[in-house]
Amino acid sequence: IYVTHDQEECFAISDKVAIMNHGVIEQLDRPEEIYAHPKTEFIAHFVGFENFLELQHLEGTG
């Protein structure tokens, strides 16, 4: 186990990464998977995504 707050270093040397928020692991995965498919909005912000859209899914026939 290696603990760091340096995201670049962590993603460069790790096979798996655990991202914690308030003492709770939000995602444990390969760095590539965390970046490509963040499981929460917190993780998306953590890896650098900044643009979020609020969408509604409307039921329909078409």
What are 6-33's pLDDT values in tens digits? 888 888 899 999 999 999 999 999 999 9
Residue that wins the pLDDT comparison between 33 and 54: 33
Tell me if the pTM is above 0.85.
Answer: no
Sequence ranges of the domains in the chain: 7-46
Taking the C-alpha atoms of residue 37 and residue 29, their distance in angstroms, rounded to an integer, is 10
Token output for 36? 């490509």
Cβ atoms of residues 38 and 44 within 8 Å: yes
Short-list 12, 56, 57, 60, CA closest to 35: 12
